[in-house]
Amino acid sequence: MSIIPALCRAGEWEKQVRLGRLAGAVAALVLAAIPGSPAAAAGTYPPGVTVDTMRIASAGTAAVAAGGAHSCMITSLGDVYCWGNDSSGQLGDGARRHGFAEPVKALRNAVRADAGRAHTCAIDTGGTAYCWGDDSAGQLGDGAHTDRDAPHPVEALRGRTLVMIATGSRHTCAADDEGAAWCWGDGSRGQLGVPGTSRSATPVRVRTGGRTDEIVDIAAGGDTTCVATAGGSVYCWGADPAGGEERSAPAAVTTGGKVREVAAGGRQACALDADGAAYCWGATARRAGPFAAISAGAAHACGIDRGGRAYCWGDGGGDGGGGGRLGHGRTAGRTAPTGVEVDAELTGIDAGSAHSCAVDARGYTFCWGSGADGQLGAGGTAFSAVPVRVEGLPRAPAAATGVQVRALDGGLRVSWRPPADLGSGQFEYVWVTTAGHEAGCTLPALTAQGCDLTGLRNGQEYDVAVVVKTSDGMRVGDFVTATPVAVAPDPLGAAPPRRELQPGAGGGLPLTGLSPVALVAIGTMLLGGGLVALLVRAPQSPAPRRGTVRRRP
């Protein structure tokens, strides 16, 4: 039941490599699996932006998790908010008083989070794990066996860079940047993956094989733990979702494909292969898809297809307080994936014990199913068989659109259209920057539509991003790649203009312009035809060179 940021989905890696230059050393945290990640870039960030917030915002959207009777989400700035049952301190806001079903802030600078039955864990931008809530079986990992109502670091893993974390009913597991797995908490059914260890209040190392079995995804649910390895294999341990023999050490699971993502719930587990095909076993046993993401709850599973549409199947909960977890408008169960009734393009989904939550491309969070403890975030206790919007959560702005880049001598001219949606916050500024931080400009006016980046080297490629910052979030737009070019000097000695563009004056090169080959051919004809004199009599900006965009899938 974990939060899986968008940056980890297929197709995002190229953008993340570019953001590695922009956000500095923090890139190593999530890009650990990419050989030769770019080095950190020096530079000064505008107010309210740091290496950490830049790295987190690169994910593009918020992420969500559904636990036993509480829910959590990570904002575009890395703030963890939780709501619902707080009987063991699992919301993480300390002793502060808050309203029923009210989202409260638990942690800052988080990149991963997961919600268990009555505890919550997260990883920050430094790769440190924090846990809070129920510690009855040592699932907080600090050795104290004491419930905590605020995040507390897992000290035994200090010095290791953790990149993934997953919570089950009363155990927790994590994976580091070297592909090693660690588990702690209840191991009475073998869910810690170490034979002879029935409980551990501090992390123990799990062995899944040789170097070819480095872990790329980890999931925990109920009393089961599963991992996917770099070779596409799946290993599980603990309770068998299909009702078979419990295993205290990792055992291979045959799925029929190269797996990149796993999900584990109370009574089933699922694996998602590189082609988007899902294979589930246990209570929701079936093959389904194609999906871009998948999640397993206590007795139901959900997935999102590549178009952002959600589907759930399994136990619907009936007409009691736990009904409606499939989100199709009724409380009955479904054996086949059934569409969730929400009019939104979803980017993340998570199935909990008796409820489900999702987040859309605009940053809105929705939950459905059981609401007895406020886990739907709607202010009441009634269940809902259709998604309801969670109130009181910050929402990031939309991205600037129509970004265009034009080559200058020693610089680049960037233009864009302001975002149509500022989210829930007040506009602060637009920041235009190269990924290597060689040049940038900060514009405090929402109506600004362009600026010049100067001091760049001719002939060198630069990746340019337009960042929109509000009081409640930040959005990093798609990168545009362009190259400054030298131009013939003006005989009158006038330098090419380098100025901040006024609203409405942001020209630029359309991204669908002529190909480089065509531009070279046209340039050759112009020079060969003796038209240089015309250019001298009517000075123009240098010939534009088409940029290329790295878009999210």
Does residue 413 sit in the same domain as residue 380? no
Three-state SS at 3: coil
Output the CA–CA distances (angstroms, integers) from residue 72 to 80, 113, 358, 457, 519, in the order listed: 7, 8, 11, 45, 51
- The answer to whether position 115 is within a domain reads yes
Does residue 436 sit in the same domain as residue 347? no
Contacts of 39 (CB under 8 A, 6+ apart): 21
The CATH number linked to 271 is 2.130.10.30
Write a three-state SS string for 157-212.
HCCCCEEEEEECCCEEEEEECCCCEEEEEECCCCCCCCCCCCEEEEEEEECCCCHH
Q: For residues 94, 98, 103 and 107, what is the CA-based torsion angle, rounded to 10 degrees?
A: -20
Structural domains counted in the chain: 2
- The answer to whether position 302 is within a domain reads yes
- The answer to whether position 365 is within a domain reads yes
Rounded CA-CA distance 1/246 in Å is 21
Cα 307 vs. chain centroid, distance in angstroms?
17
- The one-letter amino acid code at 456 reads L
361: containing domain: 54-389
- Tell me which residue has tokens 């260890």: 197
- Final residue belonging to a domain, choices 467, 482, 497: 482
- The answer to whether position 68 is within a domain reads yes
Does residue 301 sit in the same domain as residue 344? yes
Does residue 412 sit in the same domain as residue 384? no
Does residue 127 sit in the same domain as residue 145? yes
Does residue 404 sit in the same domain as residue 328? no
- Final residue belonging to a domain, choices 325, 357, 389: 389
As to burial, measured by CB atoms within 10 angstroms (0-12 exposed, 13-18 middle, 19+ buried), residue 9 is buried
Cis peptide before 290 (omega within 30 of 0): yes
pLDDT in tens, the chain (553 residues): 555 443 334 344 333 333 333 333 233 333 333 222 222 244 578 888 888 788 777 765 678 999 999 999 999 889 999 999 999 999 999 989 899 999 999 999 999 999 999 999 999 999 999 999 999 999 999 999 999 999 999 999 999 999 999 999 999 999 999 999 999 999 999 999 999 999 999 999 998 765 557 899 999 999 999 999 999 999 999 999 888 889 999 999 988 889 999 999 988 999 999 999 999 998 888 899 899 999 999 999 999 999 999 999 999 887 766 789 999 999 999 999 999 999 999 999 999 999 999 999 999 999 999 999 999 999 889 999 999 999 999 999 999 999 999 999 999 999 999 999 999 999 999 999 998 889 999 999 999 999 999 999 999 999 999 999 999 999 999 899 999 998 755 544 444 444 443 333 333 333 333 333 333 333 333 333 332 232 223 333 333 333 444 433 3
DSSP letter string, 466-507: EEEEETTEEEE--EEEE-----PPPTT-PPPP--PPPTT---
Does residue 344 sit in the same domain as residue 471? no
pTM assigned to the model: 0.81
Does residue 407 sit in the same domain as residue 478? yes
- The answer to whether position 330 is within a domain reads yes
- The answer to whether position 535 is within a domain reads no
Rounded CA-CA distance 349/310 in Å is 8
Does residue 411 sit in the same domain as residue 374? no
Does residue 333 sit in the same domain as residue 453? no
- The one-letter amino acid code at 275 reads D
Does residue 177 sit in the same domain as residue 279? yes
- The answer to whether position 356 is within a domain reads yes
- Final residue belonging to a domain, choices 345, 366, 389: 389
Sign, CA dihedral 303-340-58-434, equals positive
Does residue 405 sit in the same domain as residue 385? no
- The answer to whether position 22 is within a domain reads no
